[in-house]
Structure 1
Amino acid sequence: MTRWLLPAGVAGGLVALTSMALAPGSDLRVTGVTPDLARGEAIYAEACAACHGANLQGEPDWRTPGPDGRLPAPPHDATGHTWHHPDRLLLDITLHCTAAVVGGGYESNMPGFAGDYSEDALKDVLAWIKTQWPEEQRIYQANATARDEQNRAN
């Protein structure tokens, strides 16, 4: 197998070109911000990996409520459902917590991080998570975001 080593600028440009070719809005930006992927990866390791896993694998039995009645942390990889949701919903959950976004008395162990990180920093985390998905999931999620943006515009 041949491996290619590219200068960082070239590799970054290829990532941007590849992501733009996936589907309208499927680049790594979250709500229009060009991401700092290194910062996103570092924040994920610091604030998210303890529950969602260093490899985005989530907690075991994440679809089954635990003894406290709350669902364990879901995976953020292709086996989970994160990629089913548009950027705005993912950002709102990350900023304000799942319970605040879902409402109706829903309880979750997912905290909001608005008091700990800026919105742009959390967008970087979400963008980094996107880089870990296969192309099919990235396309699906980009289309979910585009539909959401279209609905919000109407």
Structure 2
Amino acid sequence: MKFFGSSVALGVAVLGTVLWSQGTAGNAAGVFPYQDDAAVAQGKVIYQDNCASCHGDQLQGEANWRERDEEGYLPAPPHNASGHTWHHADQQLLTITRKGTAALVGNGYRSRMEGYEDVLSESDLLAVFAYIKSTWPAEVIARHNEINEQAEN
């Protein structure tokens, strides 16, 4: 019985170590499941249905996205590698998308980006960002993973 008990304890310890190390690697890469083909495919559909009308069907954003329009709003930025999405850690991107830009920035900041917390589930949001991140070049993904790692520390 001692052998069985110590074998179980050893198995639990090994499993815990494996899960911890996988979790650590996952944290460095952030929370977006961009390497999960099913999540990416689901995210593409959700993106097309909810985001593409402003951010572009090819993630290209609106024209002159860095310049305020005549009403004082910034056009929707691109989510491809030419934009600034990848400059932000996963949790910040999720907060912006859940709450909307104006709610996050505050101080009377005006934005057409409304929050989606009552529209999309957490798994929907993760899938959308998985799709977006999956389109970036490897060097941009690597830099974004570094940004996520720095945000965790």
Common fold: TM-score over 0.5? yes
Q: Percent identity?
A: 44
Query: Structure 2: where are the runs of 5+ without partners?
Result: 1-25
Computing the radius of gyration from Cα coordinates, the structure with the larger value is 2
Query: Structure 1: where are the runs of 5+ without partners?
Result: 1-22
Select which of 53, 62, 82 maps to 2:56.
Answer: 53
Give the partner amino acid of 2:32. Answer: V
Alignment of 1:5-154 (within 5 A): 25-26=28-29, 29-30=31-32, 36-150=39-153
TM-score, length-normalised on structure 2?
Answer: 0.76
CA distance in 1, matches of 2:101, 2:86: 16
Q: Whose helix fraction is larger, Structure 1's or Structure 2's?
A: 2
CA distance in 1, matches of 2:133, 2:97: 14
1:59-111: CA deviations, max 9, x gaps?
00000000110100000011100000000000001111011111121111111
What count of residue pairs does the alignment treat as equivalent?
Answer: 126
- 1:55 Cα deviation from its structure 2 partner: 0.5
